[in-house]
Chains A and B, each alone.
Chain A
């Protein structure tokens, strides 16, 4: 499925609907995922490749650890929330702590070409599909 937006004004609402439609889709169902709490993940396809996105506001790049092997991706890190000395706290809503999650994708990934980007509190992992996992067109003789 690919998304085409008629106008930029309804782009967001269309996209929100699309994301809702894929809420807990069966795509990752087969995988063992877990081992600890983690900011929620969204998974997209971009052509042949897989893009993994998570919101990690306040997590420094240095505190993130990403490992990829075959079809498993591990994302771990920690987040600190500091208030400083001699303060009275009025509201405390920002979560803090350690996280660690491993997901197994249903496709094999070329680990050498994985790109990770972390900007404005959004972590994006670009996972190119391994050559062996790409669909091949079969010519009929």
Chain B
């Protein structure tokens, strides 16, 4: 990627699925990069303002679900004067292929970015077949 490129600004995307959350507050869909290497699938998600303890990562029936809650108490005593974006919890899920080893998922949060390493199970890895 070229370094001189200007940051492309997009509006935060709101979660649109209805009837899923019991709380009326708005949720946002975190921008996500997903890439695959030979032995793992990596999911990188932007969840600004979410602390480690407020992040939930679930894998159930091949569905990867990520929920991140922001701490609204940090905004106590602040009155808005001008706003360009809204805040809210984050939620997103992906259907995984069954090739993922759910027991060995590795998660890391740094500077508001969650990185998930989803290792592929042994037999799903590409193999070079020797020709005899």
Q: Which residues of A contact B (CB under 8 A)?
A: 1-3, 8-13, 15-16, 18-25, 27-28, 36-47, 50-51, 55-60, 78-84, 86-99, 118, 120-122
Q: How far is the CA of A89 from the CA of B51 in the complex (A)?
A: 27
Q: How far is the CA of A25 from the CA of B85 in the complex (A)?
A: 12
Interface 1/0s, chain B 42-63, versus A by CB < 8 A?
1010111111000000000000
Q: How far is the CA of A12 from the CA of B89 in the complex (A)?
A: 9
Q: How many residues of B contact A (CB 8 A)?
A: 50
Does A22 lie within 8 Å of B32, measured CB to CB?
Answer: no
Does B81 lie within 8 Å of A95, measured CB to CB?
Answer: no
Interface centre among A19, A23, A80 (most CB of B within 10 A): A19
The 10 closest A-B pairs by CB, nearest first: A121-B112, A40-B84, A121-B48, A57-B112, A44-B78, A97-B7, A57-B46, A55-B48, A27-B82, A93-B31
A-B contact pairs, 28 of them (CB 8 A): A13-B24, A15-B72, A15-B87, A19-B83, A20-B86, A21-B80, A24-B84, A25-B83, A36-B6, A37-B9, A41-B82, A43-B83, A45-B79, A46-B78, A51-B78, A55-B49, A90-B41, A93-B32, A95-B7, A98-B4, A98-B6, A99-B7, A120-B49, A120-B50, A120-B109, A120-B111, A121-B49, A122-B112
